[in-house]
């Protein structure tokens, strides 16, 4: 082999190995994240952690129960608003409006909304809910999160509805079904796996968001007294605990982080595994 060819072979081997190293970096990072959370957080996980309210620094036995409940409440209401709106818009984009200019505008706007930084969404929710009401509320937080959920759900619903083969649509119509009937009884059920996965992934995503909640749900040392009250949520709690100057609160941050990440990963893994017996995953 000439010297030139030797050089080319060496470069080839080095560069290709590098790409492998980079790819396995992802595994390393994931393992590190999980490892740190488990190592630092698992010792704080006990029943009290899940059921008690937070105590002051230095006082043992506190928990994040209100944050967990708060998160569940805020995310549930956000989904209540966001999923139907997103789903029905997705149905419009794929079924009624497909190819029209108006649908193009809606799609473009949904992508635009999707790209709005979450903190800006939070500010918006503040201006339209918190400011007029003169107080922070879980409701405001839910609205902020639902604004993030809508475009995600709409686009993934559209994506999976469009994947339903034309033969199936025409088959339903040929049997005399009206358009909405064919959508409701044939097309949507055919795409239900993907649509459901998109929804689960969307909900998992907003469960981890904290920026939009900073000016809406804010936080609460005690139990939240309802939608109109401000509430603590898991991600914001983690933020506050981690940035505090107290060591035992740092401990709690790790544990809370472990819970949050655990839930998000479980949702993601379930949804994606559930989906692989079918089409591809939704485009985030």
Partner 1 sequence: MSPSPKLQSTETSIPNPMASPTTTPAASAAPKAKMLAEHVNFFYGSFQALHDINIEFRENQVTALIGPSGCGKSTFLRNLNRINETLRGTRLEGKILLDGADIMAEDVTTIRRRVGMVFQRPNPFPKSIFENIIYGPKINGMVKGNAAEIVEASLRRAALWDEVKDKLHESAYALSGGQQQRLCIARGLAVNPDVLLLDEPCSALDPIATAKIEDLLFTLKEQCTIVIVTHSMQQAARVADQTGFFLLGKLIEFDKTDVIFKNPAKRETEDYITGRFG
Partner 2 sequence: MASPAAVIQPRTKSISQRLRGGDMAAYLLTIFFSILILLVTVYIVYELWNYSLPTIKKFGLGFIGAQVWDPNPDKNLYGALPFIYGTLITSVVALLISVPLGVGAAIYLSELAAAKLSNTLTFLVELLAAVPSVIYGLLAIFTLIPLMRDYIGPFLEKTLGWTGLFVGPSYGTGYLTAGIVLAIMTFPFIISVSREALMAVPREQREAALALGATQWESTYQIVLPYAKLGIIGAVFLGLARALGETMAVTMVIGNDTHLTKSLLSQGYTIAALVANEFNEAGDLQGSALVELCLVLFVMTMLINAGARLMITLTTSKGSARA
Contacting positions for partner 1 (CB under 8 A) = 1-2, 4-5, 8-9
Closest CA to 231 of 121, 133, 130, 136: 136
Residues 86-105 contacting partner 2, CB under 8 A: 88-89, 91-93, 95-97, 102-103, 105
Say if CB 116 and CB 150 are below 8 A apart.
no
Residue with smaller CB distance to partner 1, 5 or 59? 5
93 vs 30: CA distance, rounded Å: 36
Give the total of residues touching partner 2 (CB under 8 A).
92
Structure tokens at 257: 């982080």
Report the nearest approach of partner 2 to the CB of residue 211 (Å).
4
- Read out DSSP for 206-247? HHT--GGGTTTT---SS---STTS----HHHHHHHHHTSS-H
142 vs 201: CA distance, rounded Å: 17
Which of 111, 133, 185, 221 binds partner 2 (CB under 8 A)? It is 111
Q: Is 175 in the site for partner 2 (CB under 8 A)?
A: no
Q: Which stretch binds partner 2 (CB under 8 A): 49-57, 71-79, 202-210, 221-229?
A: 202-210
Q: Is 37 in the site for partner 2 (CB under 8 A)?
A: yes
Report the nearest approach of partner 2 to the CB of residue 250 (Å).
7
**Residues 38-77, mask of contacts with partner 2 (x by CB under 8 A):** --x-------------------------------------
- The item of partner 1, partner 2, none sharing an interface with residue 4, based on CB under 5 to 8 Å by kind, is partner 1
Say if CB 140 and CB 70 are below 8 A apart.
no
- Read out DSSP for 21-61? HHHHHHHHHHHHHHHHHHHHHGGG-SHHHHHSPP--TT-TT
Report the nearest approach of partner 2 to the CB of residue 96 (Å).
5
- The item of partner 2, partner 1, none sharing an interface with residue 1, based on CB under 5 to 8 Å by kind, is partner 1
Report the nearest approach of partner 2 to the CB of residue 52 (Å).
21
Q: Is 281 helix (H, G, I), strand (E, B) or coil?
A: coil
């Amino acid at each position: 082999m000439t010297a030139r060819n030797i050089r080319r072979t060496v470069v080839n081997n080095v560069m290709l190995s590098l790409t492998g190293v980079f790819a396995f970096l992802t595994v390393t990072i994931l393992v590190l994240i999980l490892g740190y959370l488990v190592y630092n957080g698992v010792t704080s996980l006990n029943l009290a952690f899940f059921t008690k309210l937070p105590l002051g620094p230095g006082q043992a036995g506190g928990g994040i129960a209100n944050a967990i409940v708060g998160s569940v409440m805020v995310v549930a209401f956000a989904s209540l608003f966001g999923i139907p709106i997103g789903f029905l818009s997705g149905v419009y984009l794929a079924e009624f409006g497909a190819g029209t200019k108006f649908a193009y505008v809606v799609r473009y706007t949904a992508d635009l909304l999707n790209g709005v930084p979450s903190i800006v969404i939070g500010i918006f929710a503040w201006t339209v809910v918190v400011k007029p009401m003169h107080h922070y509320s879980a409701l405001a937080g839910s609205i902020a999160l639902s604004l993030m959920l809508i475009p995600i759900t709409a686009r993934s619903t559209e994506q999976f509805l469009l994947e339903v083969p034309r033969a199936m649509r025409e088959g339903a119509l040929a049997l005399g079904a009206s358009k909405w009937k064919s959508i409701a009884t044939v097309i949507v059920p055919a795409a239900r796996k993907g649509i459901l996965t998109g929804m689960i992934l969307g909900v998992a995503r907003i469960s981890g968001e904290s920026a939009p909640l900073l000016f809406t749900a804010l936080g609460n040392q005690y139990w939240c007294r309802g939608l109109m009250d401000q509430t603590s949520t898991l991600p914001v709690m983690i933020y506050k605990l981690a940035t505090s100057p107290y060591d035992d609160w740092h401990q709690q941050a790790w544990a809370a982080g472990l819970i949050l990440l655990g839930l998000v990963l479980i949702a993601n893994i379930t949804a994606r595994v559930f989906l692989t017996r079918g089409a591809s995953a939704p485009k985030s």
